[in-house]
Amino acid sequence: MNTKKKKRIVSGIQPTGNLHIGNYLGAVKNWVELHETYDAFFPIVDLHAITLDFNPVELRKKTLEIAKVLVASGINPQKAPIFVQSDVKAHCELGWILNCVTARMSDLKKMTQFKDKSQKEGSDNATVGLFDYPVLMAADILLYDTELVPVGEDQFQHLELTRTLARRFNKKFGDTFKIPEYFVTKEGKRIMGLDDPIKKMSKSAKSKYNYISLMDSEDEIKKKVMKAVTDSDPTITYKEDRLAVKNLINIYKLLSNKSIKEIEEKYKNKGFKEFKQDLSGIIIDFVLPLQKRINSISDREIEKILEEGAKKATPIAERKIKEIRKKIGFLH
């Protein structure tokens, strides 16, 4: 029998915007695989979602929706708790403690994601919460003695900061936090926009032709795929410099489990019309059953799952925060 303890993984997802196939292929699909072999926790990070302008009705809706997507995609909440970050109060508390005893203004000023996001808001109008976002993220991770964090490349700087904060705390107050490793899963690492293959497919894109949402209808998917940009070369071949075509073949590959070679071979004497028709078929065959599973989960059912998730996460987080409170000199 293998008695080795499974490594702990934590990864968060924000309940904002429309989840698209890039989120699925770049994050959710990998989580489904990881939760089989690791001791995984998946917080839905609503406290992070309020760092930018938000609507309460929408926030509530998205929180439930994302939880449903995770379950419908194959994450078994018995194996890997799915919970709402704000339900586990220790996240905020540790965030504050890290703010005061480890995080420096100069660290946070270096964060490129803050610079990008605050520029969009008009720098002076960005909230203090947005500035402090990476410290709360560090708390999400450190609270669970996390060993591994699967993230997108855009989060590497935040993970380096998490490691720095953990080391500073350990140095000052004695060994308390594990220093987490992070990694990006290679497959589906970056799905690009269908209307502009230079940029990542994004839920905040201006045009809906940029992404395929997991909630899109059959007709919308067809329209979006047929409109996807290609280039002047009429052959269907995978080359590094053919950004748009490479991206479409990549999506085809990830959703059909066919190799690039097989795809190239299949469309050797065929044109983009046929390729795109087939690609939209493949996406539809993936998205519609997923939608059906999502819609079969009631709000009540998912609330129950989230409640149970929080019940599993809370004692672990509480044990850790208690240890921390003691170390820094709080009475209880």
* Residues contacting residue 151 through CB under 8 Å, at least 6 positions apart: 11, 158, 159, 182, 183, 184
* Residue nearer to ligand AMP on the CB measure, 91 or 158: 158
The stretch near ligand TRP (CB under 6 A) out of 55-63, 146-154, 236-244, 324-332 is: 146-154
H helical segments located in 218-298 = 218-227, 243-256, 260-266, 272-295
The residue from 200, 222, 224, 320 that is catalytic is 200
Q: Which residue type does 99 have?
A: N
The residue from 89, 189, 203, 223 that is catalytic is 203
Query: Tokens standing for 137?
Result: 């993220």
What part of residues 150-189 is at the interface with ligand TRP (CB under 6 A)? 151-152, 155
- Output the smallest distance, CB 255 to ligand AMP, in A: 13
Site membership for ligand TRP, residue 192 (CB under 6 A): no
- Output the smallest distance, CB 254 to ligand AMP, in A: 10
Site membership for ligand TRP, residue 29 (CB under 6 A): no
**Among this protein's residues, is 203 annotated catalytic?**
yes
Site membership for ligand TRP, residue 14 (CB under 6 A): yes
**Among this protein's residues, is 200 annotated catalytic?**
yes
In 3-state terms the chain splits into helix, strand, coil percentages (rounded to 5) of 60, 5, 35
- Output the smallest distance, CB 91 to ligand TRP, in A: 9
- The correct pick among 12, 77, 193, 197 for binding ligand TRP (CB under 6 A) is 12
Distance of CA 251 to the CA centre of its chain: 18
At residue 164, the 3 state secondary structure works out as: helix
* Residue nearer to ligand AMP on the CB measure, 154 or 219: 154
H helical segments located in 86-204 = 90-101, 105-109, 112-121, 128-142, 156-173
Residues with active-site annotation: 117, 200, 203
